[in-house]
Amino acid sequence: MSLFDLSGKSAIITGSSRGIGKAIAETFAAHGASVTISSRKPGPCQEVASQIDETHGEGTAIAVPANISSKEELQALVDATNDAFGKVDIVVCNAASNPYYGPMEGIADEQFEKILSNNIISNHWLIQMCAPQMRERGDGAVIIVSSIGGLKASPVIGAYNISKAADFQLVRNLSLEFGPDNIRVNAIAPGLVRTDFARALWEDPETLKRSTAGTPLKRIGEPVEIAGAAVYLASPAGSFTTGQMLVVDGGATIT
């Protein structure tokens, strides 16, 4: 059996209608998994699911729109996945939000609360909904897509970075709790990746040059390069890896 084989596995990936989440869903499907595509808007979700079905066979993917801020919609997402695939083996908490750009002293309570709720509490909800069946089977993989922002301070995205640092601790705690039932819980901390979410940091050539000047690889990442890390953590290759934060940043954090 291939170390990276996901045949027979079912995965929920939030924020998977574009960017890193979409790349993870497509790569999981390429390695044999059934995938649930989810983001807020139905149209883009269905488009990605249809593309995956066209490539890997009818029934490989389903589209289930859900707003991560709604506990009810997340439960409906889990229920729909169970109905379609019979189980949830892998959860990828990729969706996140950042409604504020500026110093911490200027952030409104509502903005700070939204960041913490969407980027931490919603992850806890979704994992909590899927963990019981994983524990019963004695197998499962949970991946939170965090950020290298959780490792450093910022004058403009401080609240976002705080939420991403909290995700690292959520991973450590849950890995301790779920480990005896063979559930692995890890985080991926991407650096700058070519996504719409980070467009302001790479679209302009001069900004891109400044963003990559201090990195060993002298370039930004592509979504599929984060997907490769997710496959490792979800597959037999990562069966002895838990409670960890896997930095995938082109070396940005070492300089």
When computed from its CA atoms, the radius of gyration of the chain, rounded to whole angstroms, is 17
Closest Cα to residue 57, out of 35, 82, 42? 35
For the question of residue 101 being annotated catalytic, the response is no
* Catalytic-role residue among 100, 101, 160, 232: 160
The phi-psi region of residue 231 (left if phi > 0; otherwise alpha if psi is between -120 and 50; otherwise beta) is: alpha
Tokens of 50: 């249809």
Phi and psi at residue 155, to the nearest 5°: -80, -10
Annotate 23-92 with DSSP letters as a single string.
HHHHHHHHTT-EEEEE-S-HHHHHHHHHHHHHHH-TTSEEE----TT-HHHHHHHHHHHHHHHS---EEE
Question: Annotated active-site positions, please?
Answer: 160
